[in-house]
Structure 1
Amino acid sequence: MINFKTLQCKQELMKAWSNNEKIALYLRLRFEKARYLATEEIQLVSSSPTSPTSLTSSSASSSLLHFNASNSSVVTSPTSNSCKNDIGLYIGKPPSDEQKYELLTCHFEPDNEFIWPYKERLIITGEKTITEKRYLKQSHLNEFKWLKYSPSQKGLFCIACVRFTVSTTRVSSYGKLVEIPLDDYKHLLGKHGDLILHQKTNYHLDCMVKMENFLYIYSKKPEASVELLMDKRLQKEIAENRARLKPIIETILLCGRQNFPLRGHRDDGDVLTNNDSSSKEGNFRALLRYRIEGGDTALKCHLGTCNKNASYVSKTAQNELISIIGNLILKQVIEEVKSAQFYSILLDETGN
Structure 2
Amino acid sequence: MAVGSRLAPGPRRLARRPLLLAGLAAPGLARAQPAWAPDRPVTLLHGFGPGGAADTICRILAPPLGEALGRPVVVEPRPGAGGNIASAALARAPADGHALGLLTGSHGVAAAFGRTSGFEPVDGFAWLSLFLRYAFVLVARADGPFADLGALVAAARARPGAVQYGTLGPGSSHHLTGELFSAAAGITLAQVPYRSDVAGITGVLGGELPLMLSTTVGAMGLLGDARLRGLAVTADRRSGRFPAIPTVAESGFPGFRSYTWAGLAAPAGTPAPVQAAIHAALLRALAQPAIRARLEELTDGEVEPSPPGAPTRALVAAEIESWRGLIRARSLSAD
Bin of the TM-score, shorter chain as denominator length? under 0.3
Which structure has the greater CA radius of gyration? Answer: 1
Higher relative contact order (CA 8 A, sep 6+): 2
More strand by share: 2
Q: By percentage of residues, which structure has more helix?
A: 1
